[in-house]
Chains A and B, each alone.
Chain A
């Protein structure tokens, strides 16, 4: 690297594509600095990879009833006495492989987690942008609703929405709608943070010259918000999104554990823990402890990534 101001030729020769620009960025640099972050990223990647390619990664298919054998039921992990090398982490009472169950369960947990974060972010960003850009009564009403909702813990709101939705569609069974109800209730309990953050940044950006210029040449408000304001308020949203992913995974697991989330026919990690809890007392600890461990490791890794992203995107901390 040369020192001193960049010449025009040097500037033009610098990579300009999005991917190549990322490779040259501060964020990647700070990523390489922290071993813990790299480990967390690796763990998260392994979880996402395993979840995405579950049918190929998992050693068994826990939903294929033909492959189950009751003679294999309640086997301890392979390294314990009586374990079977075919089932690394043991089996449950139906002879299902715990490791495969965890891989498929992670798939469900991550699917709900990502979907609800995207839903919450979309809702929160749109409401925050509009409330900040237009201001007035509309903005105040949105923020008052946000304030009221913020007084209550997310778990309570998610439970209430879940119960209400099942009350409205009482002719549909829980299993059919479980995914959508979960995403709706988790998403609706997390939108406030995005809305508040985006509104605060929008209030600042709204009065800057580039927005005034855009308004002056007659770009409609909707496009100004989308193309000009939104990219400038995305930093904090990314941080909230990552931390929210961890929270959404916990919330989904909690709801499933409480019996109002995903049903045992399409289990998530929380459902697996709930099912396994009954076997704890008869000594079959592996049915619940391993899914619990997987959940804890996944959440810890995502949390660490979120912490790092918050520090990396905050220039004050450098």
Chain B
């Protein structure tokens, strides 16, 4: 068990090192950092001085060590385009993305699970067939198209919800929140639905498949034979046992929700990290790209690690052979 945890941890560290190395290569070798930082009128001597001061003449291994050290201290350098520290820009936009992602994840769970349970229990009801058909269409529609359709229906045609921005936000000093104002909450609805829809269909299909599996097992048959109510069987026995994979998948999906927020934030001009990242890709603003890559990677690695460790606690079978290979 301890060996398993240590090995998992080392793997996570290795993945992070690879990602940081990629970020470093991007930062150091994609375009010349000095050319991006200075104006056209800067003389060669000034450029060389800046190069020396930033340590770009040091041996590459020293530069990499410095890069890792700075990144560990949340120092990602200065944006080429905005001439501001990248870490500050990201921190400023972090609340918007996190609020959107968490609301979407909760929404996807709250709607997807009951739909999955329903389609699992009443397999042949017309509502189940409707849910499944809609979910197939939902998977085929790219998220940005869903966003545009929602904007057209609710913002342009019905004019009841805003189509862009975060509405009014309350500044709590370290965090800006849209939860406390009516316009902030209204602005959250459409982006959250757009972002949640794909995860919702995923959760629904997963819960349905798990329910069908569990309902076939002996202990459910036995519960029926004992004359327990349908309600007790479905929710007390069956649903409980589908929860482990559902929680795992949702946890793993949380990372991709934050990554997919890039698309949603662009459609709704939501002032989050994703929008910042997209602008940096369009402007080849490497420090922001590198920082975003490292942050997202860190998030993924931590989520994966936590889910893996939780799994060993919840499901003892994983422990026997030291866990599945990654």
Contacts and interface: CB of A to CB of B under 8 A. Distances in A.
Q: What 5 A-B pairs come out closest when comparing CB atoms?
A: A167-B30, A163-B281, A300-B140, A167-B284, A153-B259
Interface in B269-326: 277-278, 280-282, 284, 286, 289, 293, 296-297, 300-301, 304, 326
Interface stretch (B1-9, B50-58, B111-119, B141-149): B141-149
B49 interface: no
A133 to B, nearest CB: 19
B293 A160 contact: yes
B15 interface: yes
Contact-size category for A: 35 or more
Residue with the highest number of chain B CB atoms closer than 10 Å, among A155, A164, A288, A292: A164
A30 to B, nearest CB: 20
B282 A254 contact: no
Interface in B144-164: 144-145, 148-149, 151-152, 156, 163
Given A147-B326, A277-B148, A295-B145, A167 B286 contact: yes
Interface in B80-135: none
A195 interface: no
Measured as residues with beta carbon below 8 angstroms from the partner, the interface class of chain B is: 35 or more
Nearest to B22: A160
A66 interface: no
Contacts of B163: 281
Contact of B284 (A152, A163, A257, A277): A163
B260 A280 contact: no
Given A260-B282, A296-B145, A303-B139, 13 more contacts: A148-B19, A152-B297, A153-B260, A155-B260, A156-B262, A159-B262, A164-B26, A258-B262, A273-B145, A280-B152, A281-B156, A289-B149, A300-B140
7 contacts: A147-B326, A151-B297, A152-B297, A156-B262, A160-B293, A167-B31, A299-B141
A280 B174 CA distance: 37
Given A254-B144, A258-B278, A152 B31 contact: no
Interface in A126-158: 147-148, 151-153, 155-156
Contacts of B256: 153
Nearest to A163: B281
A160 B295 CA distance: 14
A164 B266 contact: no
Contact of A156 (B144, B259, B301): B259
Contacts of B143: 254
Q: Chain B binding site: helix, strand, loop or mixed by DSSP?
A: helix
A258 B145 contact: no
A250 interface: yes
Interface string A255-292: 00111100000000000010001001101010011001
Given A164-B30, A167-B30, A299 B281 contact: no
A246 interface: yes
B172 interface: no
Interface of B: 15, 18-19, 26, 30-31, 136-137, 139-145, 148-149, 151-152, 156, 163, 255-256, 259-260, 262-263, 266, 277-278, 280-282, 284, 286, 289, 293, 296-297, 300-301, 304, 326
Contacts of A289: 149, 152
Given A152-B297, A300-B140, A170 B284 contact: yes
Given A163-B289, A164-B30, A292 B149 contact: yes
A206 interface: no
A164 B29 CA distance: 10
Given A167-B284, A277-B148, A253 B278 contact: no
A296 B146 CA distance: 10
Nearest to A168: B30
A304 B278 CA distance: 32
B149 A152 contact: no
B282 to A, nearest CB: 6
A166 interface: yes
B148 A288 contact: yes
A303 B301 CA distance: 31
Contacts of A168: 30-31
A162 interface: yes
A152 B152 contact: no
Contacts of B297: 151-152
A5 B215 CA distance: 43
